Amino acid sequence: MESTVRDKKTGESSDRELALRLGSVMLHCLGGSGGEVLKTIEESGLSFVQMKALIALESPERLEAATVGGVAEQLGISAASASRAVDELFRRRLVSRSEDEHDRRVRRLELTGRGRAVADRIISARVAGLTDFTASLSADERRKLQTALDALLERDEIAEIYRTHARRGRR
């Protein structure tokens, strides 16, 4: 392995170096299996923001509320960008909109069956690439990865995502 940039006092990698290393692993996993994840996203015809909104709505418990504002906040984008993405998802019949029972100005969003199917295909392609990657690891690499993941899963925001996807994977 090439040498990495490390702090001279602690011997630890810088935040940027860790990010580059993690990004390399992620790109390998996304690009593996003939690039199934990227191919699946491309075949969906969705823009990156639309795909992110679709996936966010697939797990509405992660959103403050399944609304355009909730999508904007979850994705860290402007309300206008979220609105454009949701409008296109609605136009493609991937999302339905309904009036909030307590506030008629608010529109609740929900994936349609078709939207859920597209989200499931994207998520399944992601998991397949990660499964291929983990299957390629040596026993020592698997132990090290397991230890690192156990530590990261102690973070509430990561544990919540894991619980959501683990439930879906067991259906």
Coil, helix or strand at residue 4 = coil
Q: What is the pTM of this model?
A: 0.75
- DSSP, residue by residue, 96-163: EEEE-SS-TT-EEEEE-HHHHHHHHHHHHHHHHHHHHHHHTS-HHHHHHHHHHHHHHTTSHHHHHHHH
Write out pLDDT tens, residues 26-68: 888 877 555 788 888 889 999 999 999 999 898 755 555 688 9
Write out pLDDT tens, residues 128-149: 888 888 999 999 999 999 999 9
Does residue 87 have a pLDDT over 90?
A: yes
**Tokens at residue 45, please?**
């015809």
pLDDT, mean over the chain: 85
Does residue 162 have a pLDDT over 90?
A: no
Does residue 110 have a pLDDT over 70?
A: yes
Sign of the Cα torsion 106, 112, 116, 119 reads: negative
Phi-psi region of 76 (alpha: psi -120 to 50; beta: other; left: phi over 0): left
Judged by average pLDDT, the poorest of 6-15, 19-28, 127-136, 152-161 is: 6-15
pLDDT at position 37 is 80
